[in-house]
Amino acid sequence: MYFTKLPVNIFDNCKNPEEIYFILCLFFNKTINPTFLENEKISPQIMEYMELTEKIAFCIPSPAFIEEQMGVISPIDLVIYTYLCKNAFLNGSGKTQINIKTIHQETYIKKTLIRSSINTLDRTGLIIKDSQDGYYIIEELLHYFTDNEFKQLVNSLNQQLKYSKRS
């Protein structure tokens, strides 16, 4: 299981879902192939996003990217999932509360599309309803925060991938 690290300010600096999606894909490709950026022509503004530190990053489980590439979820669903992961990661719990209005304000996605995306993410198992009303669990992040062995495994796999691609 790989986790893709993203800058916390991704939703602050991107003003449309297409741009957010483009940046998400760049980060995922960088996760699975650290030399990816060397072969791509990327604008200086986007390269700014690529330069992040541990202090300003959150993680999104990579299976969501695979689901999107296979057509199980849409690019909009991936953007919504990323937003939910950001909240769940920053909470340090793997849980997030759904607030359609806030998601709309930060992602610029229509409220009807947000509701549809949440239903899709729930149906596909990428998010799971919590017993607490209005909350959802992102299972991989929940394990990341509650199971030290899982966290060490994830960090180890990400390090191995990072160094194996550079060799």
For 100-114, write each residue's pLDDT tens digit: 999 999 999 999 999
What's the domain count of the chain?
A: 1
Q: Is 139 exposed, middle or buried (0-12, 13-18, 19+ CB in 10 A)?
A: middle
Say what the pTM is.
0.85
Query: Domain range holding 103?
Result: 3-151+158-166
For 75-91, write each residue's pLDDT tens digit: 999 999 999 999 999 99
Please indicate whether residue 36 or residue 64 has the higher confidence score (pLDDT): 64
For 3-25, write each residue's pLDDT tens digit: 888 888 888 877 789 989 988 98
Q: List the single range of 33-42, 74-83, 90-99, 129-138 with lowest mean pLDDT.
A: 33-42
| pLDDT score of 23 | 86
Half-sphere exposure of 97 (CA within 13 A, CB side): 7
Instruction: Supply the mean pLDDT for the chain.
Output: 84
Distance between the two ends of the chain, CA-based, in angstroms?
21
